[in-house]
Amino acid sequence: MISHSVVIAGGGPTGLMLAGELALAGVDVVVVERRPNQELSGARALGISSRTIEVLDQRGIAERFLSAGQAAQVTGFGVTRLDISDFPTRHNYGLALRQKHIERLLAEWVTELGVPILYGHEIAGFVQDDSGVDITLADGRSLRTPYLVGCDGGRSIVRKTADIDFPGWDATTSNLLAEVEMTETPPYGVHRSAAGTYAFGRSEYEIKDGAIVYKEIGPIGVMVTEPNAHATTEPTLDDLRTLLTAACGTDYGVHSPTWISRFTDMTRQAATYRRGRVLLAGDAAHIHSPIGGQGLSAGVQDAVNLGWKLAQVVRGTSPDRLLDTYHAERHPVGARVLKTTMAQVALHREDDRTLAVRDILGDLLRMEEPRKHIAGMMSGLDIRYDLGPGHPLLGRRMPDLDIITTSGPRRVFSFLHAARPVLLNFGAPRTSDLAAWADRVPYVHATYDRAWILPVLGAIPAPTAVLVRPDGYVAWVGDGAEAGLTDALTMWFGAPAEH
């Protein structure tokens, strides 16, 4: 039996990001992926949010993705585009980049970090006990691990085997997606009718002035609404022809499909993200309509929240109960994603009453405060973990400030490249003994003489010190005193070392 400190089921963006986080912390991790290789079939995500770009920047790998994609103002709600170019972040935009490229770049990163990815292997079952999990692969081989993380999608074998409830809402809408050839040129773009939504676009595209411009090469992507939201058979080319003819009066000579798939607005969330030594992340923990484009980003951010916590528990730095904060922090974020997605699905209906609501909401979102509020939510820049009352920065993302340290100018995010925490001190040098955590939490004295401004909130009081977790969120804020600092260090980074 082969042993690893952590086994990740699923080699999509969530699983790969988690593998990278664990590898940075020196944890022996392996990814088990049922696909024979990295190739994707069917439609997947088309980009990532502003906060997810920041997450990649925190690890020093954002440029890999930015150079492969196209920055664009792609944040929106329903059918209303939301401009975030005035948000105080280096990445006040989304990134248009197909999931196959996102996965490729993440796989290259984790391979550089030495993580093995076992393609062509599938978890058939597992049994957990007080000290670990015995995993059986479909080919009969076995793995042993202290912790198993299911990043294996909406039909997660890990979630089902762990007997974790997946409550939510059944589908009310269904759409066929396909990549095909056509003998006639379709009307590119998104179109709406009483029968539903249909859209055409080339697979290769770029963003110009915030709009998608398709290149006249390659196959054509098609999406069309199905009248039956509960279809269970595999979609066929004849199904696609019938739906196109009903919506458009012609099927445009559709032929030679590369793939045909289906997506619905089924919406479900795992009742718990943890059961003993088994955890869930990404689509294994929450599924919803792709409208709004939040799924991939939510999964990557699940991974970054979980990775450093799991690493500390595996290494014995922190007690097992630290893993309970993963569910406590990420489950509410997932619930909000589900709620915003369901609202947007409702806004895409084409009846007169929905059109009236959509028009009024569009008027509201053109106002400054509603626009900031919803754009902050959709971009992920407004997330706040409930770490208790206090300074407005507590529990929020640490902004990537240009600070001056004793060794020269630095960006805050540069301290997070190795997925380690940092204590940034902006006031008088601290005299208390922080040596008990010195091997775990670097101490940096810095100056920053500009205003502190957060997305949505605006200007906030300047702190005298901040304790930044490896995921980039602030775990403690100083106000001139050191009250609560040792408690925060112990809570998040383990008991003080004995000297």
Task: Judge whether residue 152 has pLDDT over 70.
Answer: yes
Range 397-401 average pLDDT: 98
What is the pLDDT, as a whole number, of residue 209?
Answer: 59
Confidence of residue 371 (pLDDT cuts 50, 70, 90): very high
Which tens digit of pLDDT belongs to each residue from 417-437?
999 999 999 987 776 668 889
Which tens digit of pLDDT belongs to each residue from 302-339?
999 999 999 999 999 999 999 999 999 999 999 999 99
CB 30 within 8 A of CB 339: no
Looking at the chain, the whole-number percentage of residues with pLDDT higher than 90 is: 71
Fold of the CATH domain 174-264: Alpha-Beta Plaits (3.30.70)
What does pLDDT average to over the chain?
91
Side chain identity at residue 1, one-letter code: M
Confidence of residue 205 (pLDDT cuts 50, 70, 90): low
CATH class of this structure's domain 2-168+268-379 = alpha beta
Cross-strand bridge partners of residue 287:
268
**Closest listed residue to residue 423, CA positions, set 494, 487, 497, 485:** 485
What is the pLDDT, as a whole number, of residue 214?
Answer: 58
CB 452 within 8 A of CB 462: yes
Task: Judge whether residue 27 has pLDDT over 60.
Answer: yes
Q: Give CATH 3.30.70.2450 domain extents, the chain.
A: 174-264
Range 373-399 average pLDDT: 96
CB 410 within 8 A of CB 484: no
Cross-strand bridge partners of residue 241:
none
Task: Judge whether residue 207 has pLDDT over 70.
Answer: no
CB 494 within 8 A of CB 438: no
Pairing state between β 274-275 and 205-208: unpaired
Task: Judge whether residue 490 has pLDDT over 90.
Answer: yes
Determine which helix (DSSP H) or strand (DSSP E) holds 201, and give its type and residue range: strand 196-202
CATH (residue range 402-493): 3.40.30.120
Q: What is the largest CA-CA distance in the chain?
A: 79
Strand boundaries in 326-414, DSSP class E: 402-405, 408-411
Task: Judge whether residue 474 has pLDDT over 90.
Answer: yes
Q: What is the spatial distance between Cα 392 and Cα 456, in angstroms, rounded to a whole number?
A: 12
Residue 457, exposed/middle/buried by CB under 10 A (0-12, 13-18, 19+)? middle
Range 80-106 average pLDDT: 92
What is the pLDDT, as a whole number, of residue 76?
Answer: 85
CB 57 within 8 A of CB 35: no
Side chain identity at residue 299, one-letter code: G
**Closest listed residue to residue 431, CA positions, set 477, 491, 482, 486:** 482
What is the pLDDT, as a whole number, of residue 237?
Answer: 93
CB 247 within 8 A of CB 195: yes
CB 281 within 8 A of CB 303: yes
Determine which helix (DSSP H) or strand (DSSP E) holds 358, and give its type and residue range: helix 352-365
Q: Give CATH 3.50.50.60 domain extents, the chain.
A: 2-168+268-379
Q: At what angle do helices 352-365 and 368-379 cross, to 10 degrees?
A: 100
Which range, of 66-70, 289-293, 490-494, averages the lowest pLDDT? 289-293
Which tens digit of pLDDT belongs to each residue from 213-269?
656 667 888 989 888 888 888 899 999 999 999 889 899 999 999 888 888 889 999
First to last CA, the chain: 39
Helix (H, G, I), strand (E, B) or coil at 255: strand
Confidence of residue 59 (pLDDT cuts 50, 70, 90): very high
- 266: tokens are 């089924």
Confidence of residue 146 (pLDDT cuts 50, 70, 90): very high
- 341: tokens are 């997605």
**pTM for this predicted structure:** 0.92
Confidence of residue 210 (pLDDT cuts 50, 70, 90): low
